[in-house]
Amino acid sequence: MDYSRLGTTIRKDLQEAVANILNPEVDPEIRQLNLEILLREVGTSVYDTIYAMAAYDMEIEYTTGAGMTNFYYELAKKLSDSVSVGGRSNAIAWLDEWLESQILKGEYDAFWTAFESGKHPVATRTEPSDCCPWCRLHVGTFVEPDSEVFRRHDRCGGVIRVSGYRSRNGTLSGRGWKTVS
């Protein structure tokens, strides 16, 4: 399941909210604090929803995930500082990467919980045509994959997507899951 495409639905609004906070007339510490709050709120919402979706797909909907990554502190500082030290175009790329990382973490946390619960999650790995021979050997679909499948070179840019029983049987539609609190 490619959950990353869901991230595109909030990308523009998130960028606008960040731009709103990055006011040069406001103290950098206050900007950073407000960015931390924004990123924590958005990150938690994204992570919890993706985890719940992936968990339902993998039939472990009664579980909860470990939570979003803590990288948002560092990102908030970098974004806040970018007002004075430049690099706003990099800031948009950092924000996109951060959003993608919340989605991936939700997926992977659900995957490992399912794996450890004796379910049968599947990982599908794709690589771009210019990847190295070692990464090319790891392309494919793996039922109950071991950690070797997830080893990859950043420079090769491979993508690993995970899915569960329900999506493989085409029984997912709409909103089948409920968030466990």
Partner 1 sequence: MASPNQRSYIKDLAVLRLKEFKEFKEMIYAKGIVSEDAETVAKAESIDAILDATTDEQASRMIEALLEKQPPTRSRTYSDKRAKKTIELLDKIKNTVNDWSYDGLQ
Q: Which is nearer to partner 1, 2 or 144 (CB)?
A: 2
Residues 96, 100, 101, 103, CA torsion sign? positive
Nearer to partner 1, 86 or 140 (CB): 86
Least gap, CB of 136 to partner 1 (angstroms): 26
Amino acid at site 101: S
Distance in angstroms (rounded) separating the CA atoms of residues 17 and 30: 15
- Residue number with CB closer to partner 1 (86 or 137): 86
For residue 118, the minimal CB distance to partner 1 (Å) is 24
Contact 2, 50 (CB under 8 A): no
Handedness of CA 36, 37, 42, 48 (dihedral sign): positive
State in angstroms the smallest separation of the CB of 56 from partner 1: 9
Distance separating alpha carbons of residues 48 and 136, to the nearest angstrom: 33
Taking the least distance from each CB to partner 1, the nearer of 22 and 135 is 22
Round to whole Å and give the CA distance between 96 and 90: 10
Residue 144 gets which letter from DSSP? S
**CA 173 remoteness from chain centre:** 21
Q: How far is the CB of 9 from partner 1 (least distance, A)?
A: 5
Q: What minimum distance in Å lies between the beta carbon of 45 and partner 1? A: 5
CB of 31 to partner 1, least distance (A): 9
Site residues (vs partner 1, CB under 8 A):
1-3, 5-6, 9-10, 13-14, 16-17, 20-21, 23-28, 30, 34, 38, 41-42, 45-46, 49, 53, 57, 80-90, 167, 170, 172-176
Which CB sits closer to partner 1, 114 or 135?
114
Closest-CA residue to 15 (of 49, 50, 39, 45)? 39
Residue at 8: amino acid letter = T
- Of 125 and 138, which CB lies nearer to partner 1 in the complex structure? 125
